[in-house]
Amino acid sequence: MAYWLMKSEPSVYSIDDLKRDGARGTGWGGVRNYQARNFLRSMRKGDLALFYHSNAEPSAAVGVMKVVGEAEPDPTQFDPKDDHYDPDSPPAAPRWWQVQVAFVEKFAEPVSIQDIRAEPSLKEMTLLKRGRLSVQPVTAPEWRRVLGLAGK
DNA sequence: GCCAACGTTGGC
DNA sequence: GCCAACGTTGGC
């Protein structure tokens, strides 16, 4: 069982939207970075992920979600009307993938990036080291620490 | 809205 | 294969 962190701008798709999407969850698509894509493909059912609100006030880890379906081709890459359309992705060998994720919990106390930066044991977190990676691994100690900061 | 970080593209 | 130009992310 692995731990992850996945970013979304709340003005686009927030943890409340995920909660509303219920047990079936949502396809986490639109990722157009190869390293993030590779992490998506290595996710397995039952893995847990922090839902992180980026470009938010404040930017913060706001809850937990669960991987409920493993990698499948991201349909937005084939949709010319979608912002994430990729005309160079061959349908027979899709370039971009998504996983299905579902709501687990929303933190009563979000853990902001300032909180994370202020916590010495989290200074190696990928979130701080690699600013713009939208899907990233979290170690077990980091996971426990962030949930601790969330009051869990 | 600014801009630093950094990934991608494309000319050579 | 190098690297400059360009585009995007995301904190502030």
Q: Kindly tell me if the per-residue pLDDT of A91 is higher than 90.
A: no
Q: Kindly tell me if the per-residue pLDDT of A9 is higher than 90.
A: yes
Whether A114 sits with its Cβ under 7 A from any strand C atom: the answer reads yes
> What confidence tens digit (pLDDT) does each residue in A52-81 have?
999 999 999 999 999 999 999 999 999 888
Measured CA A78 to C1' C8 distance, in angstroms:
21
Average pLDDT over every residue of A98-115: 96
- Residue A87 binned pLDDT confidence (cut-offs 50, 70, 90): confident
Q: Which residue is nearest to nucleotide B5 (CA to C1')?
A: A131
Q: Kindly tell me if the per-residue pLDDT of A136 is higher than 90.
A: yes
CATH code of domain A3-149 = 3.10.590.10
From the alpha carbon of A55, which nucleotide's C1' atom is closest? Answer: C10
Return the pLDDT at A139.
96
Report the alpha-carbon angle A38-A95-A4, nearest 5.
25
CA distance A41 to A28: 12
Please give the span between the terminal C-alpha atoms of chain A, in angstroms, as a whole number: 19
**Phi and psi torsions of A50, nearest 5°:** -75, 135
